[in-house]
Chains A and B, each alone.
Chain A
Amino acid sequence: MTQPIRPSNAKVNSELVPATRVEGDAVLVTVRGEIDLHNSPELRNALLEMLNQRQPKRLILNLAQVPYMDSSAIAVLVEALQKLRKIGGKLYLTNLQPRVKGLLEIARLDTIFVLAATDDEALKK
């Protein structure tokens, strides 16, 4: 999935990414809805553009409103993680619904992200 980032697709505060805020060295992003092949490119563009612009040390994704992800969505998270690692950053996933957590476990990817029950817990880690 070596697609260039298309800033015009990376909407800030879109339906998929309705909220973004900064707290210290952390950027907290709320993601909403089912994420699959159809809209994972939009999520990818949003995250990568934000990473390019802000270079956060911590990216915290609140997935409380994400009932479903497929492999293309997980690939977006892994790509974001790898970009963060290059700048010494970490990726946190909070409020995982069981179905999403289960997919990460199936793919043995549940330990590569920092999982937290809430955004506050992630901020304290």
Chain B
Amino acid sequence: MRPAIRTKSLIALAAVMAGSGGGCFFGGREAPDIKSADPALKIPAIKSAVDRKDMSVVGALIKDLESDDPAVRFYAIQGLQRLTGETFGYEYYAEADHRMPALQQWQQWFSRSEESVARGGEPEPMRARTDPGATTQP
């Protein structure tokens, strides 16, 4: 039976990244960057931000739901689910037009959240941040 949780040492990973003379890895010479167009830099940044529960990346992750790279979409929606408890039914593997309704829900949710914060209120309420059925970390 597959193990329930696979834990990955991000500290060890960061040490390897710092010492790596390699090209495009989970980093390589360049630091992970959630805004990078290179999935090799973007994806470890997503993982790291989600592990830190860094809510400031939510906007960037919602943009990544539009990526043409299904791997980027996979990690973006996993991250959003872990941070917010929501998916709005987004399916990373679906065709673009099928993903659109859920994407629009994410964008509307994010707009409401930003407006609320701008008015000095609380961000859009989120469901409890549980990981129902999560068997692997992104």
Contacts and interface: CB of A to CB of B under 8 A. Distances in A.
Smallest CB-CB A-B distances: 4 pairs: A102-B2, A78-B93, A82-B95, A109-B93
Q: How large is the interface on B (under 10, 10 to 19, 20 to 34, 35 or more residues)?
A: 10 to 19
Interface in B78-111: 78, 91-95, 98
Contact of B91 (A102, A106, A112): A112
A85 B95 CA distance: 12
A105 interface: yes
A106 B136 contact: yes
B80 to A, nearest CB: 13
**A interface SS class:** helix
**B interface SS class:** loop
Contact of A82 (B1, B92, B94): B94
Contacts of A82: 94-95, 98
Interface in B114-138: 135-136
A108 interface: yes
B25 interface: no
A103 B74 CA distance: 14
Contacts of A105: 2, 135-136
A73 to B, nearest CB: 14
A109 B78 CA distance: 13
Contacts of A109: 93
Contacts of A98: 1
Contacts of B135: 105
Interface string A99-113: 000100111110010
B81 to A, nearest CB: 10
A108 B95 contact: no
